[in-house]
Structure 1
């Protein structure tokens, strides 16, 4: 008999809702959204627009929006989620265990502390040590995080870098269960060829030419400027760059592209595209790049690999150690223009080699699935 599991999350997220839908088929769950009803209409500061995902996020599982009385509501800071009746509402569903996504909110930390030693409290997060700094402030942070994770019965880690993080703050191997970070592999892999061909045709890119893709927020953390700078150094007529997204760097990137008249015809921009449009865009490219200066995981890499594409990733992207190798793509030293340019040149020498890497990516990513993640959670909770 399966246990009743209460799940605590800030708001409906396109990468979590399918997991909840699958979990609901295998066990008794109820999801509590702590950011409140207003979280459905979310203005994304990074994309500089209101984002309403075009895939169903509230179907196939039981859920409840908790009242959020925070003055400045949102998941961008600790005091942005304050639920005075959270514990009472959670108790009403009589859970036998709790799975909580993230601790860094007022209510989430209170929930963790309240239910410690009452019922098992499981944790899900993807933090890493990749950008850890030294100093007195970091020492206090280390002590605080060690205290936080003493309240956790077990954690479902997303990958190698995340496991290292949990171990640093006191969790033991027996408390750590691998539940791979994942996306809908099937949705990104099963796109019609004509849909991706339309993308290439839109920008007059021939099939024999190579298309390099970046998709995400155009901000300094994602570092698309490094990619654009390196691309200009390629100076190859048969290689194109497509930058998809919006954000604070948008105008400066477009201006940077204009300053290179010789290559402007090979540099293309496309506004933010929703979830149903992204599979065709990934399928249209030959190489996906994520040059981030900081990225706890980088689910865009999962999406690109599920689309059968080679990848080029910085060493500050959490998934790199698990997903990126010589067979699926390359990893470069973050913010290092020379290293990045050399890796980009090597990868764009031969389109047929990129195709082989893409095929390897598609095979490899099959083990990083929603099904594997759900099976790990169900198996451990009901053990």
Structure 2
């Protein structure tokens, strides 16, 4: 069985899946970006991942000749395309329709408010796009509803869970150095935000809620970079319990999840929110907005809570409740680790393999 996989560029959440697939089929990944870009506009800096993303599978970059010719030469039995928001991907979809079966994977959802006129245009365009797809591998409940709205039938939808490297995050040995370096006492509680400091991810809302809750012996840590970094650093400058650290790479970030007591993702819109998976794999309670795609699948009253997006009062109430009940945080964290265990790379890759041999 030969599987051609099309993606824009190497991604830390996809490479392990490609490695698993390569053990079971003849796989080649075709990256459609001509260069191996390392500048991330969201973080506003160069990002070079410190884990291998190009090992364990065959790949090519779209440098020497058009990707269509490379795909024809490979002559796959199936084509799996990650995302459509690229002219190259749309070209591949239209060229190979009715030539070979096309699988598709994306994590979009319907949670974002769209003006009515854009909604009409979007529906027309996306129904055209997905008419080229035989099977869509959906990441969760919200993503499934998205595919159904834009024309795919129940029989065309296969669950392939969104995942991170649960094992790498869960077995990481906790270190006191993170808390010690930040001056956080053993019994103090730490709330963590990790990601891009963007208006969409809305770390400022978390800052406002934390200050409003004003619970003694608690700390707030922001890790990342981006447009709102200046505002966060200004707030931290005059408060000993607010900390801002730069982007932390994949090998280091588990230490910060392990050091916290509660992870919060206050996004205005998030197609999924894989940082939620990471925090849960580290055994941490999670508090996320209702606009995070993962919320409906991953977050329950037993492992965390969901608050109304952009509602500082709702976030404050739930944040304050958790910070005043540390034993509840511990219990929720243990449950989180159990709940995320089935959302793993093995189950994701197995769903893809099953499509090939159905």
**Under TM normalisation by the shorter chain, which class is it?**
over 0.9
1:245 aligns with 2:241: no
Helix, strand or coil at the partner of 2:28: strand
**What is the Cα deviation at residue 361 of structure 1?**
0.3
**What is the Cα deviation at residue 132 of structure 1?**
3.6
CA distance in 2, matches of 1:243, 1:134: 32
Paired position in structure 2 for 1:220: 199
| TM-score computed with the length of structure 2 as normaliser | 0.98
Q: CA offsets per residue over residues 47-82 of structure 1, 9 Å max, x none?
A: 1110000000000000011128xxxxxxxxxxxxxx
1:34 aligns with 2:9: no
1:54 aligns with 2:50: yes
CA distance in 2, matches of 1:234, 1:338: 9
Give unpaired runs (5+ residues) of structure 1.
Answer: 69-83
Helix, strand or coil at the partner of 1:265: coil
The alignment's C-alpha RMSD in Å is: 1.1
Counterparts of 1:56-71 in structure 2, within 5 Å, are 56-67=52-63
**What is the Cα deviation at residue 353 of structure 1?**
0.9
The alignment covers a number of residue pairs equal to 358
Helix, strand or coil at the partner of 2:221: strand
**What is the Cα deviation at residue 134 of structure 1?**
3.4
**What is the Cα deviation at residue 135 of structure 1?**
1.8
Helix, strand or coil at the partner of 1:347: helix
CA distance in 1, matches of 2:85, 2:47: 23
**What is the Cα deviation at residue 46 of structure 1?**
1.2
Paired position in structure 1 for 2:89: 108
Q: Of the candidates 265, 275, 295, which is equivalent to residue 300 of structure 1?
A: 275
Q: CA offsets per residue over residues 150-186 of structure 1, 9 Å max, x none?
A: 0000000000000000000010011000000000000
Helix, strand or coil at the partner of 2:94: helix
CA distance in 2, matches of 1:308, 1:237: 24
Give unpaired runs (5+ residues) of structure 2.
Answer: none
Kept in 2, the 8 Å contact 1:237–1:266? The answer is no
CA distance in 1, matches of 2:287, 2:294: 12
Q: CA offsets per residue over residues 205-228 of structure 1, 9 Å max, x none?
A: 122111000001111001000001
Kept in 1, the 8 Å contact 2:215–2:323? The answer is no
**What is the Cα deviation at residue 94 of structure 1?**
1.1
Paired position in structure 1 for 2:215: 236
Paired position in structure 2 for 1:159: 140
Q: CA offsets per residue over residues 58-114 of structure 1, 9 Å max, x none?
A: 00000011128xxxxxxxxxxxxxxx6211110111100100001111110010111
